[in-house]
Structure 1
């Protein structure tokens, strides 16, 4: 499909359209089951704006040939850089009963982050939703520096472990 110059392309505001679920068990990250996701813990309301940091990238493999003046490349190893999530931290406050993210994402915990983009967070997950799944091990957490007009937050580090991650996969029934 070719677009005519000046064709307006709609965009979707991101506000209120990202879910983050902590799931203890997923049998196949390329085909997460609806029952697995709904058995998870919704930490969406704890993740701060811009607090998700998990950037997949791919190295390149140099493919130089003796008989050409050009260099070629092939896709190489994939990796995740800077994996962490910044969350509201109500530890020791009058809201400490509402501290699900900090209580769930404890150092050494293993599980899966499931992220869904583009649907209102009030919408329940359904089969055929498109999600990203990350197999992770939780690392240390650290308090985020206090700033004027801010809330108490912590940065929770994690590492991606085998079987890795799967992006843009369909939820199965």
Structure 2
């Protein structure tokens, strides 16, 4: 029996794959609180997706999924931190308002092309402004691995894939050559 490629497995779990227009278009922001019910429905769909995906693939570095990855062009994402039992972070209309000049470069994967990993430079700290379901603005700072995960998802909402952030001349590597599966990022 032939093995199902990682990207095909994600597609079968309902994750939109690279090449779909929804992945390269900026997501539409929510008008909150007016669209609260719609936002709650999208968040629910994102949690269903993380549950399905988490049942077939462990994520030692944490994981995130943005609404466009489940074919919903709205500005919502869910990030599950790597720490067991840590609550998921819900991002509605997220916007990076500050970033550290200190960066590092680590391998990232993406559910929308899960057969490769890419070396991506990112700031070590970011400050993110989001909108609550009640329409209030909330600001939170994230560091290191969590900043990387959240930045990756915000990029999705801006229509960017991590390959757009990779240095010129650096190409993603096949997942079969990637040696850090099951381990956290190192700082």
TM-score, scaled to structure 1 = 0.25
Larger radius of gyration: 1
Give 1 or 2: higher strand fraction.
1
TM-score, scaled to structure 2 = 0.23
Give 1 or 2: higher helix fraction.
2
